[in-house]
Chain A
């Protein structure tokens, strides 16, 4: 696992990770000084790339910034004693607020409060509701949706369809993702689309292998090229009351890597996507877990696919 995270440091430094992978790296560097130093050196290289692009901004920018700063509060330092806070914070800065409006930065109470729990889905929701009216230079996209989701919405489908023209099955999966699935909340269309895109990419990979999975009519699709596993199916029963399905990667040494949770929609259709290095994975398992998932399986396996 740590090797997997390590391989993400480069992509992290160039801002090329999906939010979940970004969070994975941030958790890791909070605890691993070697990776922190390595990432720091990569960030110096990317900073040099940025410096080489330096272009004098108009003087009016300075005026606008100084005027806004004059009315903008400042966050207090991170809570002392939280070892991971300072490390992840510079990164989380933009993670949590970068896609909000400029107004977010003025909301001291709100941002300070959410900063403590940065990185959770709950934080995202909070940030979105603390904004007020449209500030100067604010994003026109009001909601601070999942980044990948927004991108998928704005430019993803065309690009991916173009890139994968001819992959008929793939297109079908995307269409299902857009129109058919009811995963999560209704407002999560964009997130669903992003999920569909991820699943589609796994399915379209040249080395994709598929196996049936006994959860409704289910399939597991794996691609080492994409470092990912996708699950999809229909006619699945709902999980035990008050729980969600969670995916687990079972490693050769018996350890288990926690994957995402998912819920079938009213028709029993479901999809899940697990970005993870496949080396050493010997089985994929599904359990019922409390909403949000568990760090270790807490119930018996509902379904398992041995690789």
Chain B
């Protein structure tokens, strides 16, 4: 399975096949066994780490970019997070979640820390919505591209199952770095309501996407 992750496509080969996959019920390419890669990384396996990088770097960078809204800063955050994955790989525990969620939790916290510490709220608001498009030539793996597009479609479908208020609560907290108290204040709702919206939104999203566990 993971051998296919080695296949590096010619950059230009990326385009159309992925688009036609949208809405497919099953994932296009093989899902790499990230748990295995992470556990090998924990034993100092540099090759496994590189495969892991290939599998998660785009998500880590995209998440960071969405949160910090600055490409250079997103690169710094991604670097910190990805190096931290290497450094702390042995502390990953498969009982506590998947390798992907473990890595993305690290990346999320790094990004939120950065945005909270270095950017004023007004600065974030000013740059809100500015998002650089990526040059296609930089997207290196066809499998990754297909996986991402499939995932984006799936998540979009999942998000459409949420109420506008649930989406708003998730957006404020997960992507804008608000705490649940700040979100409650901003939305002028009781804290308990904010907590419930976040939880209910996650449950709907999880169920709509068929996340297991």
Contact = CB atoms under 8 A, between A and B. Distances in A.
Interface string A66-89: 101100111111100000011101
Closest 9 CB pairs of A and B: A86-B93, A10-B199, A94-B109, A137-B76, A55-B62, A53-B62, A57-B61, A52-B155, A16-B173
Nearest to B58: A54
B3 interface: no
B113 A65 contact: no
B118 interface: yes
A8 B198 CA distance: 10
A182 B112 CA distance: 29
A74 B118 contact: no
11 contacts: A37-B213, A41-B206, A48-B155, A51-B100, A52-B155, A68-B83, A75-B89, A78-B91, A93-B88, A93-B106, A102-B79
A86 B91 contact: yes
Given A44-B213, A77-B91, A226 B121 contact: no
A297 B84 CA distance: 40
A228 to B, nearest CB: 8
Interface of B: 42, 44, 46, 49-50, 53, 57-63, 65-66, 75-80, 82-84, 86-93, 95-98, 100-102, 104-110, 112-114, 116-122, 134, 138-140, 144, 148, 151-152, 154-156, 158, 170, 173-175, 177-186, 190-192, 194-196, 198-203, 205-206, 209, 211-213
B41 to A, nearest CB: 8
A226 B105 contact: no
Given A15-B109, A86-B96, A75 B158 contact: no
Given A53-B65, A55-B134, A90 B93 contact: yes
A139 B58 CA distance: 22
Nearest to B133: A55
Contacts of A87: 93, 95-96
B87 A105 contact: yes
Contact of B118 (A76, A140, A225): A140
Nearest to B57: A57
B205 to A, nearest CB: 4
Given A10-B195, A139-B114, A54 B202 contact: no
A13 B206 CA distance: 12
Contacts of B184: 225-226
A297 to B, nearest CB: 27
Given A47-B104, A61-B57, A90-B102, A224 B190 contact: yes
A17 B179 contact: yes
B154 A48 contact: yes
Interface string A229-257: 00000000000000000000000000000
Contact of B122 (A47, A57, A136, A158): A158
A61 B75 contact: yes
Contacts of B104: 46-47, 50-51
A65 B153 CA distance: 29
What interface size band does chain A fall in? 35 or more
Nearest to A76: B90
Nearest to A8: B195
A61 B114 contact: no
Given A49-B170, A49-B174, A90-B102, A102 B93 contact: no
A79 to B, nearest CB: 11
Nearest to B192: A227
A151 interface: yes
A46 B46 CA distance: 28
Contacts of A136: 76, 79
Interface in A130-170: 136-137, 139-141, 147-148, 150-151, 154-155, 158-160, 163-164
Interface in A158-207: 158-160, 163-164, 198, 201
Contacts of B144: 54
A298 interface: no
B151 A94 contact: no
A29 to B, nearest CB: 8
- Choose among A59, A65, A137, A154 the residue with the greatest number of B CB atoms under 10 Å from its CB: A65
A76 B43 CA distance: 9
Contacts of B75: 57-58, 60-61, 64, 137
A97 to B, nearest CB: 7
A273 B200 CA distance: 28
B100 A13 contact: no
B151 A52 contact: yes
Contacts of B202: 10, 13-14, 42, 45-46
Given A42-B206, A45-B202, A95-B109, A137 B79 contact: yes
Given A13-B202, A17-B179, A150-B117, A49 B92 contact: no
